């Protein structure tokens, strides 16, 4: 395999969602030779989104792909290189770090991991066509469009509880559809859900199909105990069955039990916070949904990308 020795970078950023592109903006403006390995499906989850109304700076909101295109153009205008290739491996066992992409090995003094996490979908008929047409994976992003409407949440974990509580603030009704007869979510979250009069639960049901063409109008259900089939009318379906962090190609980076990168805070000798975005490998930093299962917003991912770039800057200055 060809090794790109001439291309020794200061910072290589893996991923091109809001975290990766923001990290790129900060890295290049700090004067570092920076490469973003964007992947062939560049732009992350916002490329699958329609109107984004909660990203500051856009009075009328902005379409997700347009927001990402703006971020990309801004990053490139500042001089950041973007490689539209999938990286196939990250080897962090020795320095300089080696990143393999498109059949070449790129060397770098530091790395920012911003590969994101993908929502897990049900993958049942109608889902692909109705995404953004009443089918969503983010209540915080889309609840606003369901003011006074009947809605459904699929899932039984903490995310499903949280999404249900967010939706209940605006929707007429929220029905949680869960495949078993007990939630996996923490007791505290369940208690909050059970106290909310707008939220009802349908136990032992799985969604087998979406109904509607231009916009979702309902779901087709199967009882997981009896096999009985039924239809349930709704104006919106929120899928909250988990996320899959994109971490399978890393070697030597500590991951938690769900596969997210473990983010570490490092203090200096005086006990002051030195790095907020460190990983188990010095010189490798992390930003965005690949470590964050809690907030998962475009704006928080961008902020985490900024933090990772500022940390990489500090690390490079101290490890010349």
- Catalytic residue (one of 141, 235, 306, 311): 141
> Is 138 one of the catalytic residues?
yes
d(CA 26, CA 34): 10
Phi/psi for 295 (5° steps) reads: -95, -50
- Catalytic residue (one of 10, 142, 292, 313): 142
Of the candidate residues 73, 77, 172, 180, the single one contacting ligand NAP (CB under 6 A): 180
Region 115-134 residues binding ligand NAP, contact defined as CB under 6 A = 122
For the chain, give percent helix, strand, coil, nearest 5. Answer: 25, 35, 40
The pattern of x and - marking residues 61 through 90 that bind ligand NAP according to CB under 6 A reads ------------------------------
d(CA 254, CA 235): 42
The upper half-sphere exposure of residue 232, i.e. CA atoms within 13 Å in the direction of its Cβ, equals: 26
> Is 142 one of the catalytic residues?
yes
Does the footprint of ligand NAP cover residue 293 (CB under 6 A)?
A: yes
Is the bond leading into 96 cis (omega within 30 degrees of zero)?
A: yes
Least distance to ligand NAP, CB of residue 289, Å: 11
> Is 80 one of the catalytic residues?
no
- Catalytic residue (one of 138, 235, 289, 292): 138
Of the candidate residues 143, 199, 219, 241, the single one contacting ligand NAP (CB under 6 A): 241
Burial of 184 (0-12, 13-18, 19+ CB in 10 A): middle
- For tokens 């707008």, the residue is 198
Of the candidate residues 33, 104, 184, 276, the single one contacting ligand NAP (CB under 6 A): 184
- For tokens 């509880």, the residue is 161
Residues in touch with ligand NAP (CB under 6 A): 122, 154-160, 162, 179-180, 184, 206, 241-243, 293-294
Catalytic amino acids?
138, 141-142
């Amino acid at each position: 395999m060809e090794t790109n020795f001439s291309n020794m970078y200061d910072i290589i950023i893996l991923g091109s969602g809001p975290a990766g592109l923001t990290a790129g903006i900060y890295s290049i403006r700090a004067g570092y030779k920076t490469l973003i390995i964007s992947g062939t499906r560049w732009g992350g989850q916002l490329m699958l989104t329609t109107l984004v109304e909660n990203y500051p700076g856009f009075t009328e909101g902005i379409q997700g792909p347009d927001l990402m295109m703006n971020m990309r153009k801004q990053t490139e205008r500042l001089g950041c290189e973007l490689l539209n290739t999938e990286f196939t491996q990250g080897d962090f066992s020795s320095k300089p770090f080696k990143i393999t992409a498109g059949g070449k090995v790129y060397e770098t003094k530091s790395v920012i991991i911003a590969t994101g996490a993908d929502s897990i979908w049900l993958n049942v008929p109608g889902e692909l066509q109705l995404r953004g047409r009443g089918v969503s994976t983010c209540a915080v992003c889309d609840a606003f469009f369901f003011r006074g409407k009947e809605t459904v949440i699929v899932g039984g974990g903490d995310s499903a509880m949280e999404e249900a509580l967010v939706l209940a603030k605006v929707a007429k009704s929220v029905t949680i559809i869960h495949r078993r007869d007990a939630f996996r979510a923490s007791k505290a979250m369940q208690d909050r859900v059970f106290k909310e009069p707008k939220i009802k639960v349908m136990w032992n049901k799985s969604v087998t199909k979406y109904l509607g063409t231009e916009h979702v109008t309902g779901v087709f259900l199967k009882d997981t105990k009896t096999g009985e089939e039924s239809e349930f009318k709704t104006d919106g379906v929120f899928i909250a069955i988990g996320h899959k962090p994109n971490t399978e190609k890393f070697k030597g980076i500590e991951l938690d039990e769900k596969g997210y990168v473990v983010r570490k805070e490092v203090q200096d000798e005086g006990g002051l916070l030195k790095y907020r975005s460190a990983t188990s490998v010095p010189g490798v930093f992390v930003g965005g949904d690949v470590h964050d299962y809690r907030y998962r917003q475009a704006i928080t991912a961008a902020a985490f990308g900024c933090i990772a770039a500022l940390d990489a800057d500090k690390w490079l200055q101290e490890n010349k």
